[in-house]
Amino acid sequence: MRYPALLTDLYELTMLAGYFDEGMHDTPATFDLFFREAPFKGSYAVFAGLEPALDYLTNLRFQEDELAYLRNLHIFKPAFLDFLKNFRFRGNVIAPPEGTVVFPNEPLLTVEGRLAEAQFVETALLNIINFQTLVATKAARISVAAQDGVVLEFGLRRAQGPDGGLSAARAAYIGGVHSTSNVQAGQLFGIPVKGTHAHSWVMAFPDELSAFRAYAACFPDSCVLLVDTYDTLKSGLPNALIVAKELREKGHQMLGVRLDSGDLAYLSKAARRMFDEAGFPELQVVASNELDEYLIRSIRDEGGKIDIYGVGTKLATCAGEGGGALGGVYKLVRLADQPKLKITSDIAKATLPDRKHLWRAVDAQGNFVMDIISREEECLKPGQEVYDPTNPARHKTIAENIALESLRQTVMDAGQICHSPESLERLSDRCADQLRRLPEGSLRLFNPHRYKVSISPQLHELRSRLMKAYQD
């Protein structure tokens, strides 16, 4: 998919025009993309959206109709519009692999290049990375809550537009949701597609049993029946069992039923009991209806017998407290040979200057202990003190048995993608593996353990020195 060059905020263009007028557009610049608070009042996020972001950068150019539109705005000079004709992104991008579990204040993308190109791509990169990271995080939370249950994404009809539906399906897969109802997402990304039928199917027939039989005749080996159109216990489940027996007699196997209303914990237990007593222990129970991680956890705590959770609205729209949007920001950290710092009275919002390296401290058992942000060429070792970026009075010593793993790599060099794209399965596996290696309590839905992110001695000293210089 091509992201148009005009998928941007006007101020990116006005700043670009100003840099061009001032002769600053070719000045080397470095920007960091990061977020300050984990979404959903959790402790982590799942990084997603890198491949679409790199596709955007690779194909960035202004088409003739886009230049004509800008010309008709009558706010840009002809020389600047001529400059845009050959505008390309030829910079570098440093990032962790998609599916990496990440934390507040860590540089996710670092974009290096000419000031013109590195500044202009801000809006589109935030649009892509913010949304897909948010959805992947929501999907991870839902998948963790489901434990051994399978999660199906079917939020397309409630998603924020067609592209939102596609992006949500891709990001949800990275976070641990392994199928979608979105057929286009299946075609584009290779995600397995799943689906049943709607209540309207049942209502279109003279009675429920006729509707079930017709659907089973059409899909004898992939039949999942929606059983709550009229009465789940008195009609839907008994009729589904009749069809299951008829299919078995013909050498076929019904897959299961879907519950879409009512007390899902209670109804799923009743369905499981009825299936087992009738000799159909293999039938699966699918549940839907405004599910999220909290409701799924509640169903499981009540002993619900659900095999597959269909999650739509709450996943695709990232609904929930602390959701809705990831507050990712894009800040200048170096211009020419000078580190840059956004200063504020709230140190928690002061940026981390200069080019940086991101490390993960791992113990001897392979568990994550903390992340450390250092200056680019700084050497870290056990025994050193590292500092809380939001409260320098808090510091911690790197333990002796710790291994430091680099989290990021150069993924684009001089405008060319320089890493091999990974399958969505690989990204999903990475996410699941990293979630298992977090400190105890990090995955709790309420009051989770706050993973430590520290800054190195040299980065701490540089920020303190720049803050003092700006304040004097």
The CATH number of whichever domain residue 242 belongs to comes to: 3.20.20.70
Alpha-carbon distance of 154 to 183, in angstroms, equals 10
Q: Is residue 37 part of a domain?
A: yes
DSSP 8-state symbol, 232? I
Mean pLDDT value of segment 424-446: 97
What are the structure tokens assigned to 154, written together? 């079917």
User: Which of 248, 275, 305 is a domain's end point?
Assistant: 305
| Domain identity same for 264 and 358 | no
User: CATH no. for residue 457?
Assistant: 3.20.140.10
Q: pLDDT, tens digit, for every residue of 100-113?
A: 999 999 999 999 99
User: By the 8 A CB rule, do 179 and 188 touch?
Assistant: no
DSSP 8-state symbol, 233? I
- 472 — pLDDT class (breaks 50, 70, 90): low
Q: Is residue 161 part of a domain?
A: no
Residue whose pair of structure tokens reads 């701490």 in the numeric block: 460
| Domain identity same for 207 and 285 | yes
User: Which of 262, 279, 305 is a domain's end point?
Assistant: 305
Residue whose pair of structure tokens reads 């599916």 in the numeric block: 99
Q: pLDDT, tens digit, for every residue of 4-60?
A: 999 999 999 999 999 999 999 999 999 999 999 999 999 999 999 999 999 999 999
Alpha-carbon distance of 85 to 363, in angstroms, equals 52
Q: CA-based Rg of the chain, rounded to a whole angstrom?
A: 26
Q: Is residue 216 part of a domain?
A: yes
Q: pLDDT, tens digit, for every residue of 359-382?
A: 999 999 999 999 999 999 999 989
Q: Is residue 273 part of a domain?
A: yes
What are the structure tokens assigned to 62, written together? 């202004």
Nearest alpha carbon to residue 154 among 126, 177, 175: 177
Among 125-139, 274-288, 342-356, where is mean pLDDT lowest? 342-356
User: Which of 254, 273, 305 is a domain's end point?
Assistant: 305
Task: Give me the domain span that covers residue 226.
Answer: 195-305
Total number of domains constituting the chain: 2
Alpha-carbon distance of 109 to 132, in angstroms, equals 14
Mean pLDDT value of segment 441-467: 95
Nearest alpha carbon to residue 147 among 331, 322, 301: 301
Which segments of 302-358 does DSSP mark as H helices, in order? 313-316
Mean residue pLDDT across the chain: 96
Q: Is residue 51 part of a domain?
A: yes
| Domain identity same for 290 and 386 | no
Q: Is residue 47 part of a domain?
A: yes
**Rounded to the nearest 10 degrees, how much is the dihedral formed by the CA atoms of 369, 375, 380, 386?**
-50
Q: Is residue 156 part of a domain?
A: no
| Domain identity same for 113 and 45 | yes
H/E element holding 245? Answer: helix 237-249
| Domain identity same for 225 and 118 | no
Alpha-carbon distance of 466 to 338, in angstroms, equals 11
Q: What is the largest CA-CA distance in the chain?
A: 86
| Domain identity same for 400 and 358 | yes
Which segments of 38-121 does DSSP mark as H helices, in order? 50-58, 64-73, 78-85, 115-120
User: By the 8 A CB rule, do 310 and 288 touch?
Assistant: yes
| Domain identity same for 327 and 431 | yes
Of the chain, the percentage scoring pLDDT greater than 70 comes to 99
What are the structure tokens assigned to 65, written together? 């109709």
pLDDT at site 276 = 98
Mean pLDDT value of segment 97-101: 98
Q: Is 215 exposed, middle or buried (0-12, 13-18, 19+ CB in 10 A)?
A: buried
pLDDT at site 197 = 96
| Domain identity same for 300 and 327 | no
Q: Rounded to an integer, what is the distance from CA 463 to the centroid of its chain?
A: 30
Q: Rounded to an integer, what is the distance from CA 149 to the centroid of its chain?
A: 20
Alpha-carbon distance of 374 to 357, in angstroms, equals 5
- 350 — pLDDT class (breaks 50, 70, 90): confident
| Domain identity same for 439 and 355 | yes
Q: pLDDT, tens digit, for every residue of 159-201?
A: 989 999 999 999 999 999 999 999 999 999 999 999 999 999 9
For the chain, how many residues are written? 472
C-alpha distances in Å from residue 66, one per residue of 36, 62, 75, 153, 252:
34, 6, 14, 36, 57
| Domain identity same for 334 and 288 | no
| Domain identity same for 295 and 346 | no
| Domain identity same for 372 and 263 | no
pLDDT at site 322 = 80
Alpha-carbon distance of 331 to 386, in angstroms, equals 23
Q: Is residue 147 part of a domain?
A: no
User: By the 8 A CB rule, do 50 and 411 touch?
Assistant: yes
Q: Which residues contact 89 (CB under 8 A, 6 or more apart)?
A: 57, 58, 60, 113, 117, 121, 415
pLDDT at site 120 = 98
C-alpha distances in Å from residue 319, one per residue of 40, 42, 184, 253, 325:
9, 14, 23, 37, 9
Q: How many CA atoms lie within 13 A of 302 on its CB side?
A: 16
Q: Which residues contact 318 (CB under 8 A, 6 or more apart)?
A: 39, 134, 135, 138, 324, 325
